[in-house]
Chains A and B, each alone.
Chain A
Amino acid sequence: MTDTILETRGLTKHYGGVHALSDASFTLRRGEHVAIMGDNGAGKSTFVRQITGVERPTRGQIIFDGVEHTFESPIEAREAGIETVFQNLALADDLDVPSNLFLGREKFRFRLGPFSILDKKAMREASLQALVKTGVKIPNLMNTIRNMSGGQRQCVAIARTAAFKSKLVIMDEPTAALGVQETAQVENIIRTLKEAGEPLILISHNMRQVFDLVDRVVVFRRGRIVANLRKQETSGEDVVSYITGAKTGSEFEGAA
């Protein structure tokens, strides 16, 4: 078992003539929390879409948990152990919490093709465990998502990643739409994941949040990784100057 959970080598994505992502080499160690920062269109989301199987890279390798993968779909990436909390939540509003956690991977009492009988009790109990594991408190599990606040929804989406043996959690701006208290809530969950030794990639625009939560900051600019900074050795101004291009990554050569 290697110390590295995820490694990308020369990951490149072209949309026609647009080089959205060029030669991104990135490493994530087990238990490490890394933030990906960068301006809009810098290539953060493109990068995440390649490693979560939403899109196929033009070039480059993805080595996850010691094995090279070519994910054909988000489902394959998820089956390999990469759980993503998407910006647009991906929850079914009319279903309750357990149904959402187990959407597409239900537990069954009796298998009969599409008419397999659901094991609701097992899913309810596993949901409860997942919520405890992430430190999420939802007043009523059987409530539908529609009746929940934005923070609660986000918590359910995050708990989804914990309901299964995920090896890597990716969060795409998890607090962008949340209020102050709800943001604190989600940040607490991220700390809980850190304590549990779960590796995490966090995409965020929030400098305070990034410096509060992660070990390392990777900055994207114009489709390239321009900086790879350990939290202790950098500052907010430093990161901003990389994001805006005031500082260039000359001192950063192959460090990732």
Chain B
Amino acid sequence: MVQTQHGIGGLSYDPAKRSRPPELNVFLALVLITVAFELIGRLFLGDSFLFNTRDNVDAIFNWQRLNIIILQVSIIGIIALGVTQVIISGGIDLSSGSIVGATAMVAMSFAQTAMVNGNPNPKAIFGDWAMDLPVLVPVLVGLGCGLAAGMVNGALVAFTRIPPFIATLGMMVFARGFSRWWSNGNPVSFPTEGYAAIGKGMMPVLIFVLLAVLFHLILTQTKYGKHCYAVGSNEQASRMSGIKVANHKVLVYTIAGMLAALAAIVLSSKNLTAQAGMGVMYELDAIAMAVIGGVSLQGGRGSILGTVLGALIFGVIISGFTFLQLDAYYQEMVKGVIIVGAVVLDQWRQGRSRG
């Protein structure tokens, strides 16, 4: 090979230009917020946020609080895993909260017991044929709902020129209406023991963690994952490179829909009931978790690990406010501030790396 002067002209390596993994920043934020609550607790309340202060319990940490932090974010966290993939692919999904409502109603209708305390089930939706079915039936029916809703989302986004925001907004309104229509607004209750076991105790956390690991591997190791980043990063280049962008989008929204459905199954199982209003605003919480975790709303950047950390920040903040005995109203307001802050941070970061 001939000797050429390739050393010249913009090929020097500037380590400063190589940004550290954004997950590290999110993790630092998580630590910082936790420490802040700990300090405020010690200074003003004389109590610890993280550590065990009761003499009758033999533990270093306040496990009860830690469990609650994880438990309360794990169900929305499951949705956030799907939302993360949608946003990385350059889209947005506003329908997940409503899909939770609709799926919970439908799945629960196939999970009812015939007899409640010796009486016929007062909330029965169907006849005897749909009573005491094996747990697999409501789970598959529920996942089917998510699959259908997600596919419609994906098809709308991929094959019409409707922006994802509008397409999923339509699904959001439609699915919410559907869940009210399903039982004329009445709750659906009294599931079988098998169904109730899905969301019992720490099961939601287990399911969340397993799914997070699974989708982390899928996003980092598979063609699907690579194409999520590619499509979100430069859709036209992806198309020119032979990626079937439309098919990819349908798949992304379908997966997101199924994850929302799974969250609905876990939630309705945990609450032992399904209501038409279930999952209201979950879509925004899920988007917030992803954004706080460093997923860029412009697509192409983010990770499952980031979203999990974002979910934990969410949990710590909610738990911390309860710990400080602050009103729930403040939580909402602070959440809003954090979401906007995270997006501003993302744009600032992008502007700097482009500059």
Contact residues of A with B, CB < 8 Å?
A: 74-75, 78, 86, 88-95, 99, 103-106, 108, 112, 114-118, 120, 132, 135-140, 143, 146-147, 149-152, 155, 179-182, 184-185, 188, 191-192, 195
Contacts and interface: CB of A to CB of B under 8 A. Distances in A.
Interface of B: 1-2, 4-13, 17-19, 218, 221-224, 226-227, 229-230, 232-234, 236-238, 240-243, 248, 251, 300-301, 353-354
A92 B2 contact: no
A151 B10 contact: yes
Contacts of B243: 103-104
Contact of B229 (A74, A78, A94): A94
A74 B243 CA distance: 12
A114 B242 contact: no
Contacts, number: 128
A147 B300 contact: no
Nearest to B13: A139
B57 to A, nearest CB: 45
A86 B240 contact: yes
B7 A137 contact: yes
A115 B230 contact: no
User: Which of B9, B11, B230, B300 has most A Cβ within 10 Å?
Assistant: B9
A238 B215 CA distance: 62
B2 A152 contact: no
A105 B222 contact: no
Given A103-B230, A104-B241, A185 B9 contact: yes
B234 A93 contact: yes
Nearest to A146: B353
Contacts of B218: 115
B9 A192 contact: no
Contact of B300 (A75, A93, A103, A139): A93
B229 A118 contact: no
Contact of A135 (B1, B237, B251): B1
A181 B8 contact: yes
A147 B353 contact: yes
Nearest to B350: A146
Given A116-B222, A118-B221, A182 B9 contact: yes
B11 A195 contact: no
Given A86-B240, A191-B4, A94 B224 contact: no
Contacts of B13: 139-140
Contact of A195 (B2, B222, B237, B248): B2
18 contacts: A74-B240, A75-B241, A75-B242, A92-B234, A95-B226, A104-B242, A105-B241, A114-B223, A116-B223, A132-B1, A135-B4, A147-B19, A149-B10, A181-B8, A181-B10, A185-B9, A185-B10, A195-B2
B242 A78 contact: yes
Contact of A118 (B1, B4, B223, B353): B223
A216 to B, nearest CB: 22
Contacts of B227: 114
Given A139-B12, A140-B13, A185-B9, A103 B238 contact: yes
Contacts of A182: 9-10
Contact of A91 (B1, B2, B234): B234
Contacts of B354: 146
Nearest to B11: A137
Nearest to A54: B240
Nearest to B241: A104
B103 to A, nearest CB: 24
Contact of B5 (A74, A90, A132, A184): A184
B10 A117 contact: no
A191 B238 CA distance: 29
